[in-house]
């Protein structure tokens, strides 16, 4: 009986350990302000000496400033992650401001390390995400000012301004460094290029189409 209890205790400990490793590590101190000058390699960033920490390590100014949307997709993301606020290190959260020109898009992308919750501050957005194989279900909704929508971690998602005026959204992400993989840029703009034959077969298009897309990225 004692051996069984010990075994079950070991299993429970292993399950808890695996769950903790699936998320960002919990802080074991009040804070761990990122030390940008450190050469230490680790999952996250090394801590600054607490005696050297200042209020500026926990602050960011400028989120009220509209982003420049004069680009090919008509949107601009202003991040507020551990790069902008060193005090976010180990806290498992960040945020962004997204500005959209009329009919601008935040094109298909995914965050490999974070769930995103987005709130529309101004304008109207078409938003959506696609579930994993084999269903590949497209879940989409029209959002207006004050509406909130969640994009689950790792799933491909997007936003599109469906109004004739500018739109603004604020989003929070469940990681200090959520990462972003923009689908078109990743597939057609990789360095070196992904083999054209492979992409043509994957997308079931002529190789000339792939070449044209790669030339744009």
Residue 111 annotated as binding site: yes
Both tokens of residue 158? 């997007």
Instruction: Calculate Rg over the CA atoms of the chain.
Output: 21
Contact 98, 143 (CB under 8 A): no
Residue 157 annotated as binding site: yes
Q: In which element (H, E) is residue 20 found? A: helix 2-21
> Rounded to the nearest 5 degrees, what angle is found at the Cα of 105, between the Cα atoms of 202 and 111?
65
Contact 33, 53 (CB under 8 A): yes
CA distances to 12, 75, 154, 209 from 215, in Å: 53, 22, 27, 10
Residue 136 annotated as binding site: no
Binding residues: 106, 109, 111, 116, 157
Binding residues for oxalate: 106, 111, 116
Binding residues for Mn(2+): 109, 111, 116, 157
């Amino acid at each position: 009986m004692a051996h069984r209890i010990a075994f079950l205790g070991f299993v429970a400990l292993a399950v808890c350990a695996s769950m903790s490793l699936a998320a960002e590590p919990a802080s074991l101190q009040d804070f761990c302000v990122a030390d940008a000058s450190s050469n230490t390699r680790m999952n996250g960033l090394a801590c600054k000496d607490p005696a050297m920490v200042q209020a500026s390590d926990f602050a960011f100014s400028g989120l009220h400033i509209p982003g420049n949307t004069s680009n090919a997709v008509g949107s601009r993301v202003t991040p507020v992650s551990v790069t902008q606020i060193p005090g976010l290190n180990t806290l498992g959260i960040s945020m962004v401001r997204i500005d959209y020109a009329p009919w601008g898009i935040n094109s298909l992308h995914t965050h490999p390390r974070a769930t995103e919750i987005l709130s529309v501050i101004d304008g109207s957005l078409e938003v959506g995400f696609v579930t994993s194989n084999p269903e590949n279900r497209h879940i989409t909704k029209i959002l207006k000012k004050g509406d909130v929508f969640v994009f689950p971690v790792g799933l491909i998602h997007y936003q599109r301004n469906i109004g004739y005026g500018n739109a603004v959204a604020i989003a929070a992400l469940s990681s200090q460094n959520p990462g972003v993989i923009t689908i078109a840029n990743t597939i057609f703009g990789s360095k070196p290029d992904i083999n054209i034959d492979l992409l043509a077969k994957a997308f079931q298009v002529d190789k000339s189409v792939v070449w044209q897309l790669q030339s744009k990225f």
